[in-house]
Amino acid sequence: GNSVTQMEGPVTLSEEAFLTINCTYTATGYPSLFWYVQYPGEGLQLLLKATKADDKGSNKGFEATYRKETTSFHLEKGSVQVSDSAVYFCALSENSMGGSSNTGKLIFGQGTTLQVKP
């Protein structure tokens, strides 16, 4: 079945450091890929998405590229801030053949806790 694997956390970085959180997936069909973020005490927010191979999603300085050849969707940010401290979830959603519609069912990775120290 479909699955998502994220690098183990927690990840602790100093402010302005470079961030990479690895995410790989296993899927049949044509998945869309997402990164969600959960700030302390808050709900889940969509951070970025990519819906087909070679797409790059970006938002708030974060980027991730959909790599079909390596089945990966690694999250990167060039310079993290204390306010980026949160739990990050990689997720996939299976699309219909040809990508014309989305089943809506999300499969999540286990989450990676990021702590940024000043």
Partner 1 sequence: SAVISQKPSRDICQRGTSLTIQCQVDSQVTMMFWYRQQPGQSLTLIATANQGSEATYESGFVIDKFPISRPNLTFSTLTVSNMSPEDSSIYLCSVTWGKYEQYFGPGTRLTVT
Sites of contact with partner 1 (CB under 8 A): 32, 34, 36, 42-46, 49, 51, 89, 93, 95, 101-102, 104-111
**Residue 86, both tokens:** 């949160």
Minimal distance, residue 66 CB to partner 1, in Å: 12
Which residue type, as a one-letter code, is found at position 10?
Answer: P
The smaller minimum CB distance to partner 1, of residues 45 and 83, is found at 45
Question: CB-based burial of residue 83 (10 Å sphere; 0-12 exposed, 13-18 middle, 19+ buried)?
Answer: exposed
Question: Residue 75 and residue 61: Cα distance in Å, rounded?
Answer: 10
Minimal distance, residue 24 CB to partner 1, in Å: 15
Task: Report the C-alpha dihedral over residues 74, 105, 59, 81, rounded to 10 degrees.
Answer: -70
Q: Would you say 75 and 19 are in contact if contact means Cβ atoms under 8 Å apart?
A: yes
Minimal distance, residue 18 CB to partner 1, in Å: 25
The smaller minimum CB distance to partner 1, of residues 37 and 80, is found at 37
The smaller minimum CB distance to partner 1, of residues 42 and 69, is found at 42
The smaller minimum CB distance to partner 1, of residues 70 and 101, is found at 101
Minimal distance, residue 73 CB to partner 1, in Å: 14
